[in-house]
Amino acid sequence: MTRREAPARTYPDLHDHIAALEKAGQLVRVDRPINKDTEMHPLVRWQFRGGLPESERKAFLFTNVTDSKGKHYDIPVVVGALAANREIYRIGLGCDLDKIEETWARATASPIKPRIVTVAPCHEIVITGDELNKEGMGLDGIPVPISTPGWDNAPYTTLSQYITKDPDTGVQNMGNYRGQVKSRRRLGMNPSLELRPGIYAHWLKYKKRGEKMPAAVVLGAPPAITFVSTQKIAESLDELDVAGGLVGTPINVVRAKTVDLLVPAEAEIVIEGYIDTEWLEPEAPFGESHGHVNLQEYNAFMEVTAITRRKDAILTSIISQVTPSESSLIKQVSLEPLLLQGLHALGMKFVKRVALHEPLTNLRKVVMLHMEKGTPRQEVWRAMYGLCSQHRAVGKYVIAIDEDIDPTNMDAVWWALSYRCNPALDMEILKHRDQGHGPRSLRNGGEDASVLFDATLKEPFPPVSLPKREYMENAKKIWDELGLPPLKPQAPWFGASLGEWDERFDAMAARAVAGDYWITGDIIAQQRRNDVPMNTETRRVTPKDE
């Protein structure tokens, strides 16, 4: 297929977006060799942990990607290209910053069905069957980076949209989940066990049927598709329809080669396969966006049946882990207006803004509500209850503030709490909340609450999910060699154990950065079991041989 045969479109694909970023001075092109296992993410991480203001963060395009085994890849990797800063996000969305809320409101109110095409850029190269077993033809041909070297036990796809279909209704779902590279033809899958239809609900239905679940994993797509996949939109909406609403025209989709699913025609790389619904196997450790390492759990895995890609494919990877990060900003810019829309739909027009605190807390825990002057007291409380009702774990601390308080300035918020709040009269605890995204404490039966708790460490926690010190220090040397802006390291700028870590995980992390993560894949394949539910932590399960 030639470019001239590509389906017509009026929305930007990833290549158009990268060109727009470079033209706008928002892209750093790195042509020197960069090791994806030890250098790539630590290097980009510095702009989030080095004291740079958000406006100075950039997207990074790596054109000379290597790994710890000395392999050179023919696929470039772009990091930070979706939301390293708000200007990058705005360029991808194609609207002014002050129109983002309006754009999302229009997209969710007026979604547009996709257009099915028969010829697609994502099928310029198709690899199936035994070809996938050849060196460089399977997952080993994709330069997936290690996000938090020193802790992660393998490379993980991070900006990966999993597409599955409800076997009863035929309705597709697309969500962004991580995927552990375990072998040339095996990719891990960690779902969010959410109280809404999605990949986990689909998995349960296929499990009940005794069937494996067909799936497609998109690595790189037109920005609108990626933006939608990272949000928790209403269950009545199809993500590809909302993406069409964002760009004001149908998104091109094409039928996958080996599974009965529709995938974005302009995707960079698509991994097709079947997710096992009988067997689960260990997955992780992996540094997560709640700022700690997610320890091992039993999760599903996908046997790959095809890898399709563009000839000039670019792999997208996202900086997550300790916030602020690209992962948190890509959610924040659209999640704030979506939460506000939800409150307004409940008739709470007194709320003028929803502000999510980003640094370290990762958006969901601390939420400020800007209230219109003179709002009746009962409406203030109704707004806070309404905010908590929208999501099972949003709002551990919900603070209603006046419009003169800047919600992005926590000194101002603390000032309001100190002088405008009487805890005896103006504080309540909402019990029976979900712990949400973060280390799972067994205290109180696993339940959480909204409002005030002692936030000191009461039990050992997994490590802080930043690369270990030696990798960050090495990356800083590269940063300086590239002549990038001076860094002002902000604690924490490297990962450290908080007590819950053992020698097995150290061994896996060491193998990962040495490029020997397939050894780990072989070891954990021997630990498969079918007697535990999804997301069961391995430390909670007695080994089979005991």
Q: Is the pLDDT of residue 209 over 60?
A: yes
Q: Report the half-sphere exposure of 360 (CA within 13 A, side-chain side).
A: 6
CATH number of the domain bearing residue 380: 3.40.1670.10
Q: What is the signed CA dihedral for 253, 255, 259, 264, rounded to 10 degrees?
A: -20
- Do residue 94 and residue 182 come from a single domain? yes
Q: What is the pTM of this model?
A: 0.82
- pLDDT tens string 375-402: 888 888 898 889 888 877 788 899 998 8
- The 3-state DSSP composition of the chain as helix, strand, coil percent (nearest 5) reads 30, 25, 45
524-542 CB burial, b ≥16 within 10 A, e <16: beeeeeeeeebbbebeebe
* Domain membership of residue 369 as a residue range: 327-450
- Do residue 398 and residue 445 come from a single domain? yes
Residue 465 covered by a domain: no
Give Cβ neighbours of residue 73 (< 8 Å, ≥ 6 apart). Answer: 36, 65, 66, 67, 141, 142, 143
Distance, in Å, from the CA atom of 166 to the CA atom of 233, rounded to the nearest integer, reads 17
- Do residue 439 and residue 404 come from a single domain? yes
How is residue 199 written in tokens? 């990949």
Give Cβ neighbours of residue 524 (< 8 Å, ≥ 6 apart). Answer: 182, 281, 282, 283
For 187-230, the three-class secondary structure string (H helix, E strand, C coil) is EEECCCCCCCCCHHHHHHHHHHHCCCEEEEEEECCCHHHHHHHC
Contact between 132 and 479 under an 8 Å Cβ cutoff? The reply is: no
Neighbours of 345 (CB within 10 A): 11
Question: Which among 107-111, 127-131, 327-331, 409-413 has the top mean pLDDT?
Answer: 127-131
- Do residue 314 and residue 335 come from a single domain? no
Residue 333 covered by a domain: yes
- Do residue 275 and residue 147 come from a single domain? yes
334 or 157, higher pLDDT: 157
- Do residue 316 and residue 373 come from a single domain? no
Nearest to 92 by CA among 247, 250, 324: 247
- Do residue 8 and residue 119 come from a single domain? yes
Residue 474 covered by a domain: no
Is the Cα torsion angle 30, 36, 42, 47 positive or negative in sign? Answer: positive
Is the Cα torsion angle 478, 482, 487, 491 positive or negative in sign? Answer: negative
User: 1 exposed, middle or buried (CB, 10 Å; 0-12, 13-18, 19+)?
Assistant: middle
> Measured in Å, how far apart are the chain's first and last C-alpha atoms?
56
Q: Write down the pLDDT at residue 1.
A: 41
Helix, strand or coil, per DSSP, at residue 71: coil
Residue 521 covered by a domain: no
Helix, strand or coil, per DSSP, at residue 169: coil
Residue 496 covered by a domain: no
- Do residue 398 and residue 430 come from a single domain? yes
Q: Which of 395, 424, 450 is the last residue of a domain?
A: 450
- Do residue 400 and residue 307 come from a single domain? no
Range list of β-strands (E), 6-105: 27-30, 34-35, 59-62, 65-66, 77-79
How many contiguous H segments (helices) and E segments (strands) does the chain have?
A: 14, 27
| Cross-strand partners of 213 | 275
Q: Write down the pLDDT at residue 197.
A: 57
With bands split at pLDDT 50, 70 and 90, how would you rate the model's confidence at 269? very high
Q: What is the DSSP-derived secondary structure letter of residue 529?
A: B
Query: Picking from 252-261, 307-316, 383-392, which range would have the lowest pLDDT averaged per residue?
Result: 383-392
Q: Write down the pLDDT at residue 492.
A: 73
Nearest to 397 by CA among 449, 324, 437, 329: 449
- Do residue 304 and residue 367 come from a single domain? no
For the chain, the domain total comes to 2
CA 416 from chain centre, in angstroms, equals 33
- Do residue 95 and residue 180 come from a single domain? yes
CATH number of the domain bearing residue 80: 2.30.110.10
Helix, strand or coil, per DSSP, at residue 251: coil
306 or 99, higher pLDDT: 306
Residue 512 covered by a domain: no
Name residue, tokens 């939800």: 342
Q: Is the pLDDT of residue 457 over 60?
A: no
360 or 15, higher pLDDT: 15
Helix, strand or coil, per DSSP, at residue 327: helix
Q: Write down the pLDDT at residue 437.
A: 67
Q: Which of 322, 346, 368 is the last residue of a domain?
A: 322
Distance, in Å, from the CA atom of 149 to the CA atom of 36, rounded to the nearest integer, reads 10
Name residue, tokens 């979506």: 338
- pLDDT tens string 365-377: 899 898 888 888 8
Nearest to 387 by CA among 425, 359, 346, 421: 346
Q: Is the pLDDT of residue 8 over 70?
A: yes
Q: Which of 304, 322, 340 is the last residue of a domain?
A: 322
With bands split at pLDDT 50, 70 and 90, how would you rate the model's confidence at 192? low
How is residue 144 written in tokens? 């997936």
361 or 151, higher pLDDT: 151
Residue 526 covered by a domain: no
Total residues found in the chain within this entry: 546
User: 522 exposed, middle or buried (CB, 10 Å; 0-12, 13-18, 19+)?
Assistant: exposed
For 223-237, the three-class secondary structure string (H helix, E strand, C coil) is HHHHHHHCCCCCCCC
- Do residue 153 and residue 235 come from a single domain? yes
Residue 500 covered by a domain: no
Query: Picking from 122-126, 151-155, 195-199, 484-488, which range would have the lowest pLDDT averaged per residue?
Result: 195-199
Q: Write down the pLDDT at residue 233.
A: 74
